[in-house]
Amino acid sequence: MARDRGSAETYAGPVRRLLTGVVLVVLIGLFLLWRIDSPRAERLRAEVVDAVVPSLDWAMVPVSKAARMIENARSYARIHEQNQELRRELRQMSAWREAALQLEQQNAKLLDLNNVRIDPKLTFVTGVVLADSGSPFRQSALLNVGARDGIRDGWATTDGLGLVGRISGVGRNSSRVLLLTDPESRVPVTIQPSGQDAVLSGDNTRLPLIDFVEVPEAVKPGDRVISSGDGGVFPAGLLVGQVAVGPDGRQRLRLAADYERLEFLRVLRSSPRETIRAPGHLIAPETPPLAEATDG
Amino acid sequence: MGDAATFRLWAFRALFLAALLAIVLALLLPIRLEAGRLPGPDLVLALTIAWAMRQPDHVPILLLAGAMLVADLLLMRPPGLMAALVVAAVEVIRAREYQWRDLPLPLEWLVGAALIGGVLILNALVLAIFLVPQASLGQMLIRLILTAAVYPVAALGVRYVFRVPRRVGEGELGGRT
């Protein structure tokens, strides 16, 4: 043993120990920086991800496509059953479609009579899911659209039917969607028809929790849940899902979006609305020189 | 002798990096986006510890720190913390290299499991101290147990799939100085 220690490694001992110390201090320092100034560190993360993942697309796409094909092939086994089920559902849907058309016409007429102006139509950018979070404890998806396509932090993301999450972290060519099931996701929602406001908080299970309901008795399983637009980040009225009761007896949400096959996601462009700060002020697009002049 | 040996050393280092990259990319594949799955073993950690137990020369500190930092960033972990803990664990292995290098597999498994447990528990403790929200205790325990359980597979993979040679004999070591 003593002879082993007497070899070349010993001379490098102090240098090696110093190097180890420096590396550890740098890494822990980075962790502290992340804890103190999370947005800046997350921007660094977004940039690293942006540099690495899209450039390795060629390796990942064939594998994930193959995996999806295997999964699809498995579902062919019960294709007859599925076909029957779909026919049944289609019959129900056509009845609903009829009802929806009538309601839409009625609604348009009523809105016209009242001269109501609803939110301007939302436009969207569609992105392909490149990667997921890679960790079983976090739920997010990486899209192939980023700052280059005008994506901004906080925008809502849907799968065409229901809300999926919001943008959290934008790189040049990629952006990360924080899914509603992520432990850090909090989204203000409204429960219809009782009209109660609640907060939808993810907890890394398939059914996120419905929190802060004022009168929980008024909420029944099956009630529709839509985004409320509180906080001004999300557009109001996006379908999120239905109330369900979880195995633990708490009110949870069955998501309308199909989380099992998220391949393409729509990012909804939302522009910040004018805010009314005080009565009697002019609501107009601010012009910088004018604003400075009034301030000074 | 120097050139061929150096080339082999760097080839193994590159192989180590490629294996890590393959694991991370496999984790990133967007196949299942549903929440609530059982957490799998931390393959990155198991492979790194197993490789370092076999041959610490293949995981030089700067390379390891860089690779782990990138893994932290890609896998949505708090950046730096896991990297620091893995680097510390590998440095512990390096310091005990002469005592641990000839361990039979069951004993090596014990040592590896202890190191894996240390890294994951310290990680959870530090996150708790800094009030970072983290997964439930049950899920983390499952991950710890699975990672420790997968260690012998990683160790055998390092020996027989990647064919990592054990540290060179003492005579050669003397020759190199």
Please state the domain count of chain B: 1
CATH of the domain at A178: 2.40.10.340
- Residue B5 pLDDT level (bands cut at 50, 70, 90): confident
Contacts of A46 (CB under 8 A, 6+ apart): A169, A170, A171, A174, A175, A176
- Cβ–Cβ contact B4 with A under 8 A: no
Comparison of pLDDT for B35 and B4, the residue scoring more: B4
Q: For the beta carbon of residue B139, count every other beta carbon within 10 angstroms.
A: 17
pLDDT above 50 for B6: yes
pLDDT in tens, A53-92: 888 888 888 888 888 888 778 777 778 888 889 999 998 8
pLDDT above 50 for A126: yes
pLDDT above 50 for A161: yes
Query: CA angle B41-A136-A250, nearest 5°?
Result: 130
Mean pLDDT of A146-170: 89
Model pTM above 0.80: no
Please, what is the average pLDDT of chain B? Answer: 87
**A126-140 per-residue burial string, b: 16 or more CB within 10 A, e: under 16:** ebebbbbbbbbbbbb
Distances (CA, A) of A180 to A74, B56, B163: 28, 42, 44
pLDDT above 60 for A11: no
Question: Residue A137: which of B39, B80, B84 has the nearest Cβ?
Answer: B39
> Which residue do the tokens 């420790």 mark?
B148
Report if residue A61 sits inside a domain: no
User: What pLDDT does B60 receive?
Assistant: 92
Report if residue A284 sits inside a domain: no
- Asked if residue A46 lies in contact with residue B76, where contact means CB atoms within 8 angstroms, the answer is no
Contact B30 A129 (CB under 8 A): yes
A-chain CB neighbours of B25 within 8 Å are 56, 59-60
Q: Is residue B5 classed as helix, strand or coil in its secondary structure?
A: helix
Query: CA angle B156-B73-A174, nearest 5°?
Result: 120
pLDDT in tens, B21-32: 999 988 888 877
pLDDT above 60 for A201: yes
pLDDT above 90 for B20: yes
Domain that holds residue B111: 2-31+40-176
**Total residue count of chain B as it appears in this document:** 177
Report if residue A63 sits inside a domain: no
Contacts of A54 (CB under 8 A, 6+ apart): A130, A144, A173, A174
pLDDT above 70 for B166: yes
ipTM associated with this complex: 0.87
Lowest-pLDDT range of A23-37, A279-293, B120-134: A279-293
Percent of chain A at pLDDT exceeding 90: 26
Please, what is the average pLDDT of chain A? Answer: 83
Distance CA A61, CA A67 (A): 10
Amino acid at A75: S
Domain that holds residue A234: 124-268
B-chain CB neighbours of A44 within 8 Å are 73, 79
> Which residue do the tokens 């998220």 mark?
A262
pLDDT in tens, B37-65: 778 899 999 999 999 998 888 999 999 99
Integer Rg of chain B from CA: 17
User: What pLDDT does A8 receive?
Assistant: 47
B residues 57-76 lying closer than 8 A (beta carbon) to A: 61-62, 65, 69-70, 73-76
B residues 7-36 lying closer than 8 A (beta carbon) to A: 24-36
Contact A131 B62 (CB under 8 A): no
User: What pLDDT does A52 receive?
Assistant: 87
Report if residue A87 sits inside a domain: no
- Asked if residue B46 lies in contact with residue B155, where contact means CB atoms within 8 angstroms, the answer is no
Mean pLDDT of B163-176: 57
Percent of chain A at pLDDT exceeding 70: 84
Please state the domain count of chain A: 1
Comparison of pLDDT for A292 and A214, the residue scoring more: A214
Report if residue A15 sits inside a domain: no
